[in-house]
Amino acid sequence: MSTNTQENSSERDGLALIIGGLFIVALVFAAYNYFNKSSKEISETQNEIVFQEEAEDVEGELNGDAASDKKLPPTVAGTVSSNATNGIIRAEWVANDYKHGDIQGASYTVKSGDTLWEIAEGAYGDGTQWTKILEANKGDVGFLVNGQQALIIPGQVLVLP
């Protein structure tokens, strides 16, 4: 084989290697964008409750379109703050802002927007006292799977030590 043929062969091999590398980089980039986009959509769906504006005024029987003669209930935790964009209302959780003395007595019924911190501020004047309420209601307060977040629900009656 002549020197010229060997040079052409090694040039073609080098060019094929570069093209192959660029192809792999393009595939990795496309896969990254595809999976990153999907995880963002899932995350947004899990972190916000989306209602259609018309849903509040829908009347009729329960059907496949989820129409009912009852209005939609408020969100489980927090006050709904509407931020209408393109006909969609996004629900936000807003904590209640209690001051010392707002909550009195030996028990308290949880309202929408309450947190143990806010309840402790209303009852004791100090939010850091929320652990007292948690300890007194250990059997009735739920926790997230990782055990780091105490969960209370509206209507739940808590003992205030």
Domain boundaries, the chain: 1-47, 48-94, 107-159
Residue 10 main-chain phi, psi, to 5 deg: -70, -30
- Find residue 125's DSSP bridge partners: none
Report pLDDT digits (tens) over 118-135.
999 999 999 999 999 999
**How far apart, in whole angstroms, are the C-alpha atoms of residue 14 and residue 9?**
9
Would you state the pLDDT for residue 10? 81
pLDDT at 97 over 60: yes
Show the CA angle centred on residue 82, arms to residues 61 and 62, nearest 5°: 10
CATH number belonging to domain 107-159: 3.10.350
Tell me, rounded to whole angstroms, the distance of Cα 30 from its chain centroid.
27
pLDDT at 51 over 50: no
Which has more confidence, 97 or 147?
97
Task: Give the pTM.
Answer: 0.46
Residue 39 gets the label, from left (phi > 0), alpha (psi -120 to 50) or beta, of alpha
